[in-house]
Amino acid sequence: MSANVQIEVDERTAGALQTRAAELGVTVAELVAELATLESEPIAVDAEDVAELDRRWKAVERGGHAASHDRVVRWLRTWGTDRFRPWPGQ
């Protein structure tokens, strides 16, 4: 288990972190931990992923079900992590 460290930020930043974490359904600590890795861990996308996204986009254009932006963002952020799971319902 790692030790927790307190980091001070101004009220505006704290509010923005709390709001964004709530929107994503994660804790502020989880959000900050994920943000800290964004520069150092590039997201690997392969041709199969792109083809699947193309297939799904074509379905949306044909009037298929579309997921909310926030739901898609939460799912995309799991790519390349041990939290990744196939898109729900597939």
Residue-wise pLDDT for 7-30, tens only, equals 899 999 999 999 999 999 999 999
**Structure confidence by residue, pLDDT tens digits, 60-78:** 888 777 778 888 899 999 9
Which of 9, 72, 77 lies closest to 38 in space, CA to CA?
77
Same domain? 63 vs 32: no
Q: Tokens for 33?
A: 């931990």
Same domain? 55 vs 85: yes
54 within domain boundaries? yes
29 within domain boundaries? yes
90 within domain boundaries? yes
Rounded CA separation 57/41 (Å): 26
Same domain? 28 vs 64: no
For residue 41, the model assigns a pLDDT of 58
Q: 84-90 — which CB contacts under 8 Å span 24+ positions? A: 87/56
Q: Which helix (H) or strand (E) holds 69?
A: helix 69-76
Query: Would the pLDDT of 48 be above 50?
Result: yes
